[in-house]
Homo-oligomer: A and B are copies of this chain.
Amino acid sequence: MSVAHIDLNADLGEGFGRWQLGSDEAVLQLVSSANVACGFHAGDPSTMRSVLSLAVQRGVSTGAHVGYPDLAGFGRRYMDVEPAVLTDGILYQVGAASALATAVGGAITYVKPHGALYHAIVTDPRQAAAVVSALQGLGGDLPLVTQTGSVVADLCRAAGIAVVTEAFVDRAYLPDGRLVPRGQAGAVIHDRQLAARRAVRLVTEGTVVAIDGTVIAVAAQTLCTHGDTPDAAGLLAQVRTALQERDIEVQAFA
């Protein structure tokens, strides 16, 4: 008899130099996969090493959270980066993270684009192809985390790159399956109980209630919560408890 299970991922290592963001240690107690910022939108080498080292100690999988080269904008501003340049920037970030992971006895086991890049490759075939090209340049073995129905998911599959589908526990959905953009009312979900109910529903039914009340199908092998919200750890703990009450095991996909 198979046991239900799901991966929980969060964005970590999002400080830079003197600046810290989120509670990496607390969140690492609760997730099974840590998306580690790689220095382009957040994260510096020592912050990366620190979170990678903590993740190894906790047995948490680590992925490269790759972004646009935009510290000032935290990678949340679309940039019209030429595809070849984007590919090379992703190779650079994943390579950097891999060296630091190796140095602390770990490994980068997946790639997840961040922020505006994450959203761009849901629909933009040029930047999506650039990401796939980077994954091929890395040997083709690292899976990509993206949302269901994205252009990049199709391109990955065509190229033989594994895709891990993701749903967002703390972000509201539009009825067409896209996220409500940041800055719009209700875009980010702060209610722990609501987040927990959504997580359970995603795993047990594969659905989410969109912002207009529509129930939509959302396939997900991993659930994302954001590490940079003040209550990140509290919300995650509630999600984790709710999943355990339903005998859903939290387990890394990679």
Contact = CB atoms under 8 A, between A and B. Distances in A.
Contacts of A91: 45, 49, 96, 99-100, 103
A79 B71 CA distance: 13
A98 B84 CA distance: 18
Interface residues of A, number: 49
Given A45-B91, A48-B88, A103 B138 contact: yes
A21 interface: yes
A97 B100 contact: no
Contacts of A19: 15-16, 19-21
B81 A77 contact: yes
A154 B77 CA distance: 26
A42 interface: yes
A71 B71 contact: yes
Nearest to A74: B18
A18 B42 contact: yes
Interface in A6-47: 14-21, 39, 42, 44-46
Nearest to A228: B18
A81 B79 CA distance: 9
Contacts of A116: 80
A231 interface: no
B88 A79 contact: no
Interface string A95-119: 1111110110000000000001000
Given A77-B81, A78-B79, A79-B78, A99 B95 contact: yes
7 contacts: A17-B72, A18-B42, A45-B92, A49-B91, A73-B81, A95-B100, A96-B96
Top 4 nearest A-B pairs (CB, nearest first) are: A95-B99, A103-B137, A19-B19, A45-B88
